[in-house]
Amino acid sequence: MTTTSERFRPGTLGLRRLALASIVANLGIVVTGGAVRLTGSGLGCPTWPRCQEDSFVPTGELGLHEQIEFGNRMLTYVLGAVALATLIGAFRSRPARADIRRLALVLFIGIPTQAVIGGISVLTDLNPWVVMGHLMLSMVLVGLSTVLYRRIGEGDAPPARLVPEAAQRLALGLLALTAVVLYLGTVVTGSGPHAGDVDAPRTGLDTHVFSMVHADSVIALVLGTVALNVLLTRSGAPRPVVVAARVMLAVQLAQGTVGYVQYFTDLPEVLVGLHMFGAGCLVIATVRLVLATRVRPAASPALDGGITDQIPVPA
């Protein structure tokens, strides 16, 4: 007989769906946060945690800007609900997986942390350095959600390489370089025109200089990914790894194209918003590639869950 506890215990498929929802929700908060900034609505709710000094909800004083900012704040609650459901699912799923629980817990803690940083950005009149941290944390949460999604479908045995060691190290290096590219992108934005409010401070850095530095880092990332694709193809890496590397390169090229076009067209809002969405997609593609370079089979038949062992490629 099925007990109530067992009935509300998610299986692998249900937990992976929650992890996928977490990826989508975290990416969504990046897009809506970009909309807040690009419409100049960053101080639509000029205080925090209230929207106005005497109200938690919009009062209509600042019109559409107030609605846009408040809408973005409300999406945080949706994201929190998804993170909470994922956390509960991770702790109720059987067999117990400590790594899955840790990831789910970190993702859950990341949501209120993100809200606090967002509040600090409002209370400091959209200080660009605080806003940068706000976006970078979102990117970290997107990446961790992607890791969680992958890990739920794997076993708990030690990882085994599917590619030569040089290829795996290059993939990890590209992940680190991607983080640098994203950070430099936030520095460029922090010195550019889209501050979120007409009176918001800027970094004071030379936008042109840092745009060039950012562009150079993107070129290095693309060239490194081309080299990785060649190395994977020549070494006979498994097809899923090769496909993941090609997808990452395609996302980089698309993101780079949008970046160059927006720079030479004076940063139109639509393209800047698309570029922010692309940044999240770049994180997902890069993390997927790194995880694809190794396999973690089940340590015991009881933990298999349909996972097929793969033979690692020797160094």
Q: Domain map of the chain by residue range? A: 7-153, 159-299+309-315
Max Cα distance, the chain (Å): 68
**CA-CA-CA-CA torsion sign (63, 66, 68, 70):** negative
pLDDT at 130 over 80: yes
pLDDT at 11 over 70: no
Please, are residues 90 and 97 in contact by the beta-carbon 8 Å criterion? yes
Local confidence band at 10 (pLDDT 50, 70, 90 cut-offs): low
pTM for the whole structure: 0.88
Helices (H), 39-97: 63-92
pLDDT in tens, 218-275: 999 999 999 999 999 999 999 999 999 999 999 999 999 999 999 888 888 899 899 9
Please, are residues 126 and 132 in contact by the beta-carbon 8 Å criterion? no
